Amino acid sequence: MTVNAEIDSILQRAADGGRITPEEALLLYTDAPFHALGEAADAVRRRRYPDGIVTYLIDRNINYTNVCVTACKFCAFFRAPKHKEGWSHPMEEILHRCGEAVDLGATQVMLQGGHHPDYGIEYYENLFSSVKQAYPELVIHSIGPSEILHMAKVSGTSIEEAVLRIKAAGLDSIAGAGAEMLPERPRKAIAPLKESGARWLEVMAIAHRNGLSSTATMMMGTGETNAERIEHIRMIRDVQDLAVANGYQDTPVEAEGTGGFRSFIPWTYQPENNHLKGRTQATNMEYLRFVAMSRLFFDNVAHLQASWLTTGKDVGQLSLHMGVDDLGSIMLEENVISSAGAKHRSNLLELISMIRTADRIPAQRDTLYRHLAVHRTEADDPTDERVMSHFSSIAIAGGGRKNLPLVEAS
């Protein structure tokens, strides 16, 4: 119990699975005692996942191009069209990287890149179908609403046609990429050329209606207010309400409250090598409080994922006591956030140890959160020491293959 009866009442209702309002969420975020907030969030986790399992994924983020016309201020990865440092990978290289990923046990690839001025739907149809043909066992969890809007504009089609065509080509799931901050003021401040937050959510709703589930993300720390952080998740929850009410979901996952969004993933802005610069304005404590409050707020989203890549492994492990049930991925390759300064690395054995020493049971999952291998004891643990984050990366020194073949940007 805390000294504030109103906060106690909200925490108890949320811990029991009741819905809290955005105004109540803001009060918890700013005023609830840290330990009481975490305890309530962990109560939600325990009720949803009484087996004590925390999951992880093995995947690879493969960037097909860094050429982009959107020029977001926080992005250190993109290069403008015609820039001497712009590049696009040939299909041969993309497929080679997919093959490496399969060899290292990956079950998913995230194909992401800039908004290339020449890449319409046809490019993505070829990309996804080529990967599926070569590696049908890989789940393609890729791109985001921004890329879908861009390809539809380049090809002169509707959003729905773009979604249906890329799904038919092999896209299995849409990433929460490009959400950053959905409320209008902070979004315009950091990404003035990007679609509005409402438009981003509209594309997600269309995808959900057409049988594609997705994740939802949030980048915190660029100067947004606490109220704007809450507004961001309010906007996501409203769209999820629609998905759940209408039964828009692909394959059901192993949790209640599923729908269009399988999980929510908050992460912190990385300030290096971009035009926004400054420093991340989200402290570790703010991040952990927001993680816990998100678990209480999202009564209709099944999973909550920590971002150890941006916050560090210590904070990632602490988040397991704040309602988190998933530690995300051993990303065999990641270049975008790493280009902006996220230099945290891990390997599979270390990630499993992080979970186990937090008194949880580690389990490898697939994209839909189905358990592939549960490591109940250390005897169950994998032993492949090659499986590490940034096994290949252009953004972190020592990141594997060098002198990758590139195609000159057009």
3-state SS string for 91-143: HHHHHHHHHHHHHCCCCEEEEECCCCCCCCHHHHHHHHHHHHHHCCCCEEEEC
Confidence of residue 258 (pLDDT cuts 50, 70, 90): very low
Confidence of residue 179 (pLDDT cuts 50, 70, 90): very high
Flag whether pLDDT at 79 surpasses 60: yes
Measure the CA–CA gap between 217 and 266, rounded to whole angstroms: 5
Confidence of residue 83 (pLDDT cuts 50, 70, 90): confident
Measure the CA–CA gap between 276 and 355, rounded to whole angstroms: 34
Give the contacts of 123 (CB within 8 A, at least 6 positions apart).
116, 151
Would you state the pLDDT for residue 410? 30
pLDDT tens column, 261-316: 999 999 988 665 555 555 557 899 999 999 999 999 999 999 999 988 778 888 98
Would you state the pLDDT for residue 41? 98
Region 165-171: mean pLDDT is 97
Flag whether pLDDT at 67 surpasses 70: yes
Flag whether pLDDT at 70 surpasses 80: no
Measure the CA–CA gap between 66 and 77, rounded to whole angstroms: 6
Measure the CA–CA gap between 395 and 110, rounded to whole angstroms: 17
Instruction: State pTM to two decimals.
Output: 0.87
Pairing of strands 173-174, 139-142: parallel
Which CATH class name applies to 20-399?
alpha beta
Confidence of residue 252 (pLDDT cuts 50, 70, 90): very low
Confidence of residue 340 (pLDDT cuts 50, 70, 90): very low
Give the contacts of 93 (CB within 8 A, at least 6 positions apart).
404, 405, 406
Task: List the one residue out of 278, 187, 260 whose CA is nearest residue 229.
Answer: 187
Domain residue spans of the chain: 20-399
Would you state the pLDDT for residue 3? 65
For residue 375, CA distances in Å to 71, 259, 267 come to: 43, 28, 27
Flag whether pLDDT at 240 surpasses 60: yes
Confidence of residue 68 (pLDDT cuts 50, 70, 90): confident
Pairing of strands 371-374, 87-88: unpaired
What φ, ψ does residue 244 adopt, rounded to 5°?
-70, -45
Measure the CA–CA gap between 98 and 294, rounded to whole angstroms: 33
3 state DSSP class of 60: strand
The total of other beta-carbon atoms located within 10 Å of residue 24's CB is 21
Confidence of residue 72 (pLDDT cuts 50, 70, 90): low
Measure the CA–CA gap between 26 and 29, rounded to whole angstroms: 5
Flag whether pLDDT at 69 surpasses 80: no
Task: List the one residue out of 141, 59, 63 whose CA is nearest residue 329.
Answer: 59
Flag whether pLDDT at 143 surpasses 70: yes
Flag whether pLDDT at 394 surpasses 70: no
The length of the chain, given as a count of residues: 410
Flag whether pLDDT at 175 surpasses 70: yes
Q: Which residue has the higher pLDDT, 331 or 15?
A: 15
For residue 75, CA distances in Å to 66, 69, 150 come to: 11, 12, 17
SS3 content of the chain, % helix, strand, coil (to 5): 40, 15, 45
DSSP assignment letter at 194:
S
Which tokens in the block code for residue 365?
């999952």
Confidence of residue 78 (pLDDT cuts 50, 70, 90): low
For residue 80, CA distances in Å to 66, 71, 112 come to: 8, 7, 16
Task: List the one residue out of 209, 151, 201 whose CA is nearest residue 176.
Answer: 201
Confidence of residue 191 (pLDDT cuts 50, 70, 90): confident
Q: Which residue has the higher pLDDT, 83 or 7?
A: 7
Would you state the pLDDT for residue 190? 87
CB 327 within 8 A of CB 348: no
Measure the CA–CA gap between 170 and 168, rounded to whole angstroms: 5
Region 319-335: mean pLDDT is 83
Confidence of residue 246 (pLDDT cuts 50, 70, 90): confident
Which tokens in the block code for residue 39?
């305890």
Measure the CA–CA gap between 81 and 86, rounded to whole angstroms: 7
For residue 127, CA distances in Å to 22, 62, 186 come to: 40, 12, 33
pLDDT tens column, 50-66: 999 999 998 988 988 88
Would you state the pLDDT for residue 393? 45
Measure the CA–CA gap between 290 and 230, rounded to whole angstroms: 9
Measure the CA–CA gap between 315 and 198, rounded to whole angstroms: 31
Q: What is the mean pLDDT of the chain?
A: 85
pLDDT tens column, 112-127: 887 888 899 999 999 9
Would you state the pLDDT for residue 263? 96
Flag whether pLDDT at 342 surpasses 90: no
Which tokens in the block code for residue 403?
């002198």
Q: Which residue has the higher pLDDT, 375 or 332?
A: 375
Measure the CA–CA gap between 14 and 249, rounded to whole angstroms: 25
Measure the CA–CA gap between 366 and 383, rounded to whole angstroms: 19
Give the contacts of 27 (CB within 8 A, at least 6 positions apart).
6, 7, 10
> In which element (H, E) is residue 327 found?
strand 326-331
